[in-house]
Amino acid sequence: MPGWLRRHRGIIPYLFLVPGGLWLTLFFVVPLITTASVALQEGSLGTGYRLTFNFGIFVEAIQTWDTQLVRSLQFGLIVTVLTMLIGYPMAYTIAFRGGRYKNILLLFVIMPFFTSFIIRTISWKFILADQGFVLGTLKDLGIVEDSFRLLATPVAVISGITYNFLPFVVLPLYVALERIDPRLIEAANDLYASRFQAFLRVTLPLSISGVFAASLLSFIPAVGDYLNAELLGSRNETMIGNVIQRLYLVNNDYPQASALSLILMLGILVSVVVYRRFLRGQELTV
């Protein structure tokens, strides 16, 4: 060990932060500053853009695309609730009832990752098609009307997003539940708590950290998703991600696209802070 480093051993832990710090600076801070700069510019692709500090672009973007912003937040919340309702029982079963089959069950959870995100989404078009093996069979049996459809509806978009992000919810929940000492639950039962009471008073509070992480891993990408709305929805299900993508790549309206990106990031950040403050009161310290 060099002499100067031996004399300043206190800085050694911080040296491990350098690679991650450089990565975040290069691929997050710099693009964020660039996006903010582009949002405050005026001009066109033909005449060029110049920085004019046009803060009015943010108000204009919200007024123009408020419907898509609200719809994205709604879809994100619905997907988060659905993934939690589906993922928590799955993670609970694997953690407490999986036994020697835990690894196999976890493999089933992550198996969708072996297939491309686009392929997984396109597969839902075949599943939800008007004459697909699901609706086609139900229509042939007379259970649903011939005019009934799921594609190009909010149900299709939400179903696709929920399916794609479900593994991101199950894994952190499983980690949180796996760390819970079973003796704490046994102690609650010894104190005459029912299984449901023990879950509400012990298991759920001790897994709040996993609930928080799982919610973020579902809500944040769900709000910004555009592929499911593009492939499974219609113009009535357009999300803010679709708007940003078209403004950047089709309309070449970089300032408004950048402004929408920053508005979306700020909205998600505020939602996360409020959600974190709410969950802080639900935690149980052991």
- Residue 266 belongs to domain with CATH number: 1.10.3720.10
Rounded CA gap, 168 and 74, in Å? Answer: 19
Q: Is residue 118 part of a domain?
A: yes
What does the pLDDT look like over 237-261, one tens digit per residue? Answer: 899 999 999 998 888 899 999 999 9
Look at the chain and report how many structural domains it folds into: 1
Q: Is residue 259 part of a domain?
A: yes
What does the pLDDT look like over 16-43, one tens digit per residue? Answer: 888 888 999 999 999 999 999 999 998 8
Domain range holding 138?
Answer: 66-280
* Model-wide pTM > 0.75: yes
Structural tokens at position 48: 């060029």
Listed as own residue / partner, the contacts of 275-279 with beta carbons closer than 8 Å and 24 or more positions apart are 275/212, 275/215, 276/212, 279/208, 279/211, 279/212
Q: Is residue 19 part of a domain?
A: no
Would you tell me the crossing angle of helices 254-280 and 56-64 to the nearest 10 degrees?
80
Q: Is residue 10 part of a domain?
A: no
Q: Is residue 4 part of a domain?
A: no
Q: Is residue 251 part of a domain?
A: yes
For 149, residues 6+ apart whose C-beta sits below 8 A from its C-beta are: 130, 135
pLDDT value of position 30: 93
Per-chain mean pLDDT for the chain: 87
What does the pLDDT look like over 123-137, one tens digit per residue? Answer: 888 888 888 778 888
What does the pLDDT look like over 168-187, one tens digit per residue? Answer: 999 999 999 998 888 888 88
Could you tell me if 68 and 59 are in contact, meaning their C-beta atoms sit under 8 angstroms apart?
no
For residues 41 and 281, which has the higher predicted lDDT (pLDDT)? 41
pLDDT value of position 242: 92
DSSP for residue 114: G
Q: Is residue 263 part of a domain?
A: yes
Count other C-beta atoms under 10 Å from residue 50's C-beta.
8
Q: Is residue 28 part of a domain?
A: no
